[in-house]
Amino acid sequence: MTDRTKEQPVVSIMPDQTLVLEWETVNGTVHPEQVQRQKEIAQAAETRKDDWLYELGFKQFPLDFSASLDYFLRFSRCFVRELLKTVEHETLRHDAVISVPPGLVSDFISTCPMMAGSEYVTPGMLEGLWQGFNEAFSRDIKAFKGRVSDYFREKNPDLHPAGRVFFHLVEAKNSHLPFAFMATYSAGMGANGKPKHLPLKHAIETHDDDALLTLLSTVYKAAEKSRIVADLIDSGELFHPLAWDEDEAFGFLKEIPDYEACGVLCRIPDWWKQTASTPRVTISLGDKKPALAGLDAILDFNVSVGLGDLELSRQEVETILEQTQGLAFIKNKWVTVDPEKLRQALKAFERIEDLAASGMTLGMAMRARLAPEKILGHGDDGQVEICVSNGTWLTSVLEKMTHPEQVDPVVPGKDFKATLRPYQSKGVDWLAKYSWHCLILDEAQAIKNPGTQETRAVKALPAAHRIVMTGTPVENRLSDLWSILTDGGTPPWRTRPLTGRFASGRRKKSWCINLSPGAPSRKRLI
């Protein structure tokens, strides 16, 4: 017999989208319990060459094999879970057709791991695999001589097919008791091919004791795990419609996996099937253009807390935490709330507000996009989802950084005597729009005439800080000094505005004399 102590099973996908179970050597030795499970896998592949994955869907061992095998085992288990939920097994038998649950295929497409042939994993491929499971069950149950429940028992004694009892929970219009509970049972198939439901109270009138015990067998199993169901049976309330508040409904909803594992099917609002949404803190950065460009530019940003598809204010979050422990009615809809996670979201919200007080630079924003938990000092514990999105201005900047061709083209002047390569041309376009942190101008006497094209070109360069250096005496003409020191427009040290393209001589002289404190004479400046 093949030694499986140094191998693990993997799945490869052929170009015709068939699955092949293969074995690859691993480093070290496989654990004895894992070896036993691998023997079961090998046996299924040998005895049911075409349906080995269907067969393994009934196994409940831990999924700690290779990523490829675990992926397809999860898919086959989804089919078995839906198969067990089917009502009226004995009536339908081999005619039962199990539909793919909405969203299942897209979920599996988005989580497909790397494996040999992963490019062949498509929605059509997974739907075909599901159809193969249906055909395998149909063949099996057609050849099986016993009851369908016995078939499932042979596959796995721990799996319980759905009985005929249903628990229903619906929203009611009563603001004080906003939920209604009722237990029903399936009384055969209707003309539309769907089960006919009758109130469970009706079974007391139409079933003898043995038949009633058989009907309620799944409910009694659930009562062994659930105090809620046990109390409903003991009080007799199980056989009557009930009005519940949100806390009673929340306690019931939390136990649904236990009910369904015992064979009691549950019909509940769709919003609960989405499970408790992980709160998220959304930060929108750079909606408006900052006064100063560059990595040190301070960006505006907005912060909000989200729960499901709802955006909440800080006050709404605080109200929810004060009033609920599980279900909250927010903006005309019920939402499942995890108070601890929502509390963590509120703390993250407050940390971000503190960060807003000190300002977030463009450099910090770009790092936050890559690792928001680190930049915000929030641990990666899965309690809160941090989402960082770019505002209108920042989106435009980053888009132009990654796609330079989107920058408005610049046509060099007639005096430019060169042919630029494409990448050089893109560089010129980008540099023409760039805002510099610091601009240093050597030989500044070249711009002492404010009317020349060279002077105007230099002053058109945007910069937060400017340094001009000149070794040529300029003290004889104030207009020269004025032209140099007004490089770029308005000097920060000027005390009075100088308007017009050329200021009067008296205005220039006044400007040079009226310097800010700390500069006692214009000679020191010169």
250 and 284 together in one domain: no
Residue 326 near residue 432 (C-beta atoms within 8 A) = no
Q: Dihedral through CA 157, CA 159, CA 161, CA 162, nearest 10? A: 140
Residues 101 and 188 in one domain: no
- Please tell me the distance from the alpha carbon of residue 390 to that of residue 500, in angstroms, as a whole number: 40
Query: In this structure, what token pair is assigned to residue 219?
Result: 């409910």
In a domain, 455, yes or no: yes
Say whether both 42 and 107 belong to one domain.
yes
Contact 342, 320 (CB under 8 A): yes
Paired residues of 13 in beta bridges: 19
Q: Are residues 192 and 319 in the same domain?
A: no
Residue 425 domain flag: no
Please report, in tens digits, the pLDDT of each residue of the chain (526 residues total). Answer: 556 567 888 899 999 988 988 888 877 677 778 788 888 888 888 888 888 999 999 988 887 888 899 999 999 999 998 898 887 777 778 888 899 988 899 989 988 998 998 999 999 999 999 999 999 999 999 999 888 888 988 898 888 787 889 999 999 887 789 999 999 988 766 666 666 788 999 888 888 888 888 889 899 999 999 999 999 999 999 999 999 998 899 999 999 999 988 889 898 888 887 655 677 777 777 667 766 555 556 666 677 787 767 777 778 888 878 767 778 777 777 877 777 888 888 888 777 777 766 666 666 766 666 666 665 555 555 567 777 777 777 777 777 666 766 667 777 777 778 888 888 887 787 777 777 778 888 888 788 777 788 888 888 887 878 888 877 665 556 666 666 666 544 444 333 333 444 445 555 556 555 544 554 444 444 4
Q: Crossing angle of helices 478-485/505-513, nearest 10°?
A: 70
The answer to whether residues 135 and 174 belong to one domain is no
Predicted model pTM:
0.52
User: Would the CA dihedral through 333, 335, 339, 341 be positive or negative?
Assistant: negative
Residue finishing a domain among 253, 273, 293: 273
364 and 443, same domain (yes or no)? no
Q: Which domain holds residue 357?
A: 280-400
Q: Is residue 231 part of a domain?
A: yes
Pair 266, 284 in one domain: no
Q: Which of 222, 249, 273 is the last residue of a domain?
A: 273
- 301-307/280-285 β-pairing: antiparallel
Count structural domains, the chain.
4
For residues 369 and 457, state if they share a domain: no
Q: Are residues 95 and 191 in the same domain?
A: no
262 with 317, same domain? no
The helix/strand/coil state of 101 is: coil
Same domain, yes or no, for 16 and 132?
A: yes
- Contact criterion met (CB below 8 Å) for 171 and 334: yes
**Is 2 domain-assigned?**
no
Cβ partners under 8 Å of residue 456, min gap 6: none
* Same domain, residue pair 289 and 188: no
176-180 contacts at long range (C-beta below 8 A, 24 or more positions apart): 176/245, 177/243, 177/244, 177/245, 178/245, 178/246, 178/249, 178/329, 179/243, 179/244, 179/245, 179/246, 179/248, 179/249, 180/241, 180/242, 180/243, 180/244
Give the CA angle between residues 50, 51, 57 to the nearest 5°. 155
Among 254, 273, 292, which residue terminates a domain?
Answer: 273
